[in-house]
Amino acid sequence: MQVRDAMSPTVLTVGPGHTIRQVATQMAERNIGAAVVRDPDAPGPGIITERDILKSVGAGQDPDTELVADHLTSDLVFATPDWSLEEAAAAMARGGFRHLIVVEHGDVLGVISVRDIIRCWSQDGATSVMGEQGAG
């Protein structure tokens, strides 16, 4: 199975001037753990995750005044849609992160998370087990 099969093509995109609270609210409404950050002055997209927000709030910073620009990750590893799920999982494990932005020809196509990979692998496993049980 490939990244294109597991990624979420619906991406929340925010700007660096959004507050932590604004992004947290939008992420909570959509039940997602990361947002792509587009800054016209940056060479590529960044990402802000629920962990980044948690660190900010946990440090006592005001989510109404803290800006995404000060909490995003811009030095990213990007996945391509034709990567295997194993390649994506390995990249996440090496980098210590739970989300990858999926790009092709410089365009953001989606985001894949550890949860997406687990969902696909558990569905495959359930299908395999059910097939083996029915084969008896």
pLDDT > 70: what percent of the chain? 90
The rounded distance, in Å, linking the Cα atoms of 136 and 116 is 31
Q: Which fold has domain 3-134?
A: CBS-domain (3.10.580)
Contact 48, 14 (CB under 8 A): yes
Is residue 100 helix, strand or coil? strand
**Which of 15-29, 72-86, 110-124 has the highest mean predicted lDDT (pLDDT)?**
15-29
Q: At what angle do helices 85-95 and 114-134 cross, to 10 degrees?
A: 140
Place of tokens 């999982």: 89
Q: Any idea where the domains of the chain sit in the sequence?
A: 3-134
The rounded distance, in Å, linking the Cα atoms of 56 and 51 is 9
Q: How confident is the model over 33-37, as a mean pLDDT?
A: 95
pLDDT band at 43, cuts 50/70/90? Answer: confident
For the stretch 109-134, pLDDT in tens is 999 999 999 999 998 655 544 444 44
pLDDT at 21 over 60: yes
